[in-house]
Chains A and B, each alone.
Chain A
Amino acid sequence: MSYCVNCGVELAESSNKCPLCDTPVINPNIINPVSTPPAFPENIVIPKSTNNRFNAIIFSILLLIPNVVCVITNLLLTPDLLWSIYVVSSSAMFWFLFVLPFIMKSNKKYLTIAIDAIATALYIFIFYYYNSAQTGWFWKVAVPLDLGVFAGVALLAAYFSKKRPLAQSLIAVFSALTLLNIYICLIVNLYANVVIVTYITIIFGISSLILLLFFIAVEKNNKLKEWLSRKFFF
């Protein structure tokens, strides 16, 4: 029978330290302590996680059914009008964005982002090809925008692979939004001079730049941080 010298509680025979304060148990009267089983076994059971992959495969099969029905109906009833391509491409787009990540065996985030970028470009291409192939907007606007947006997403994913403080996270997000805003403006204006996009870019860009500078100032200046938390605590 041993007692913790710190807490004064009696300890189980199996304890070699106090569970409350981690003080080691040294009983000079017991030279060869008899080993008694601990109060709990040592093995830790980790329960199985939900089988998302199986559920995603079942969902994919279910998603396939209305698409097959649409294609057959289209080919049988209106073979000249290929309307089912929009249904199938929308379903495929949804599948790539929201179902495929659950089917992939390991979490390959950059591969997923690349697949999503290609799927989005192909989805837009279908609309372009069947409606306005002669204008060339797909290559001049859609592809650069698609690549730019997904490159930004990949950069943010890399940045957030480590846990960041709130202020740093906000700086990163607002920097990305400001750059994206300028990039969209450049791409759209290179294709066709759209004044409204320029105005939106200026308003949005200035707002996010102000917020960005504010967060940078807060992050750098501890006194300002302290003053803000004093003035605006709730």
Chain B
Amino acid sequence: MKKIKKNIKNKTWFKLDNAGTVFPGQNTPTWSNVIRVSINLKEEVDPEILFKAVKKCLPRFPTMAVRLRNGFFWHYIEKNPEDPVVLPDANNPCLRIKFNENNRYMFKVFYYKNRISLEIFHALTDGYGACVFLNTFTAEYLRMKGYDIPVGGMVLDINEKPKEEEIEDSYVKYASKTGKEKIPLFKTYHRIGEKMPKHTSNITTGYIPVDKIKALSKENGVTITEYLSAVLMYLHMQFQKNENIKQKDVCMQIPVNGRNQFNSQTLRNFSVNYNLRIDPNWGDYTFEEVLRHLSLSLRLTNTPQHLSVMYAGNLAMEKNPVMRFIPIIIKDLAVGITFAIAAEKTTTAIFTNVGIVRIPDEMMEHVKSFILMPSPGQLNGARVGAASIGNTMAITFANMYKDTDVEREFFRFLVKKGIPVKIESNKQ
């Protein structure tokens, strides 16, 4: 029988991808799992043109131009006929996403001086998808301003039809058929302090030259992600040691982009988290030893086979026949409780590095820097995002505590190693 493929543009609803299914259940009146990406241009942003650019790009991203709906058993996303919302930026980014606000879109576009920012609910996409979406509508914005910007890298052709492989759930496609692994959970150390007032957080961005940090990492025989994660891990071990308490594991969470290992072009979620632990009860570690431990652990664990069994482990829950027929209200409740009692308690800090943001050279002439940050946590102070464009790497801390000692020690560490750091913050 001949299969009739539906035009993706005319498809009115989609299932959430495997990772996306858990995020609506984690949502609370004060917190959502949001990814924020920002691009700093060389000229002030015109909000009216920005709105037109975002609106023009939406049909190219059918899984972003959606609103979230409740099915009886699962959440789903359906085409949103409303206009997107472009807002002036605020001092307190990454606010919770409420599904009936913002014309029911699950992303918000902000502008402030030279900066365009996109905050997107994690149920729709991961850091990579957010970067592609932001770069594509920023390129269109620059075109509307009269510049000639070609497509390429993370800038998609908006005149092209959306591709089937861009909306696929790659977790299902690349999950192992033979093995599965569930991520073990351990209680870990947290650097806690006095919380910031509700809905506010400390955002600190450090800009560093890519060539210098690359050279430093190479000198130590590791990658940039390994080096910077090891700095965070080492600092947390020092904090815990100085607190003179019962020593718990220090666990770094490092999200890994599956697209690097598999031939996936999806614009939906396709990352999983590696939790790399070290037990301080084994004795004192020097920074070099922590770096070696983290680097070797990551290299040992980061294989396509391992990713594949991790996808299978996550999918097992979704495919379980009993789970499938549990009403969504109970599923959301279970996800919320699990998230409250486990989740952040099992990780000390998160370091997510989207890597080099590739855009056409003609667009690069108008761009100063690119920033990626995860939303501030509910327990973890150090939730760190990094992105590089040209020779500038932006490392951003989203911290829910008043004390900024983790970021202070982190950037001081880099300065001591000879890396120049320029700091920006939302502190008033």
Cβ of A10 and Cβ of B421 under 8 Å apart? yes
Cβ of A41 and Cβ of B423 under 8 Å apart? no
| Number of chain A residues close to chain B: CB under 8 A | 27
Cβ of A41 and Cβ of B91 under 8 Å apart? yes
Cβ of B423 and Cβ of A12 under 8 Å apart? yes
Partner of B412, one of A8, A44, A48: A8
- Do A41 and B89 form a contact, CB below 8 Å, given A7-B415, A19-B204? yes
Cβ of B90 and Cβ of A10 under 8 Å apart? no
Q: Mostly helix, strand, loop or mixed at chain A's interface?
A: loop
Partner of B420, one of A10, A20, A39, A48: A10
Q: Which residues of the other chain, B, contact A15 by a CB distance below 8 angstroms?
A: 423, 425
B96 interface residue per 8 A CB criterion? yes
B13-36: CB near A (< 8 Å → 1, else 0) gives 000000000000000010000000
- Do A47 and B423 form a contact, CB below 8 Å, given A7-B411, A8-B412? no
Cβ of B415 and Cβ of A41 under 8 Å apart? no
Q: Mostly helix, strand, loop or mixed at chain B's interface?
A: loop
Q: Which residues of the other chain, A, contact B421 by a CB distance below 8 angstroms?
A: 8-10
A36-61, CB < 8 A from B: 37-50
Cβ of B98 and Cβ of A47 under 8 Å apart? yes
B58 interface residue per 8 A CB criterion? no
Q: Smallest distance from the beta carbon of A183 to chain B beta carbons, Å?
A: 37
State in angstroms the CA–CA spacing of A77 and B88 once bound together.
63
B199 interface residue per 8 A CB criterion? yes
| Number of chain B residues close to chain A: CB under 8 A | 37
Cβ of A20 and Cβ of B89 under 8 Å apart? no
Cβ of B92 and Cβ of A45 under 8 Å apart? yes
- Do A44 and B92 form a contact, CB below 8 Å, given A7-B411, A10-B422, A20-B408? yes
State in angstroms the CA–CA spacing of A18 and B198 once bound together.
24
Closest 8 CB pairs of A and B: A19-B425, A40-B426, A39-B424, A20-B408, A8-B415, A45-B90, A10-B422, A9-B421
19 sampled A-B residue pairs with Cβ under 8 A: A7-B412, A8-B412, A8-B416, A9-B411, A9-B412, A9-B421, A10-B422, A12-B423, A12-B424, A18-B423, A40-B90, A40-B203, A41-B88, A44-B200, A45-B91, A45-B199, A47-B199, A49-B29, A233-B246
Further pairs besides A20-B204, A39-B425, A40-B91: 6, Cβ < 8 Å: A9-B411, A9-B423, A40-B90, A41-B112, A44-B199, A45-B95
Residues on B lying within 8 angstroms of A by beta carbon are: 29, 88-93, 95-96, 98, 101, 112-113, 198-200, 203-206, 246, 404, 407-408, 411-412, 415-416, 420-428
Q: Smallest distance from the beta carbon of B417 to chain A beta carbons, Å?
A: 11
A1-22: CB near B (< 8 Å → 1, else 0) gives 0001001111110010011110
Cβ of A19 and Cβ of B404 under 8 Å apart? yes
Cβ of A41 and Cβ of B29 under 8 Å apart? no
Q: Smallest distance from the beta carbon of B247 to chain A beta carbons, Å?
A: 13
State in angstroms the CA–CA spacing of A128 and B23 once bound together.
51
State in angstroms the CA–CA spacing of A11 and B404 once bound together.
16
State in angstroms the CA–CA spacing of A40 and B206 once bound together.
14
Q: Which residues of the other chain, B, contact A42 by a CB distance below 8 angstroms?
A: 91, 428
- Do A39 and B426 form a contact, CB below 8 Å, given A20-B404, A20-B411? yes
State in angstroms the CA–CA spacing of A11 and B96 once bound together.
30
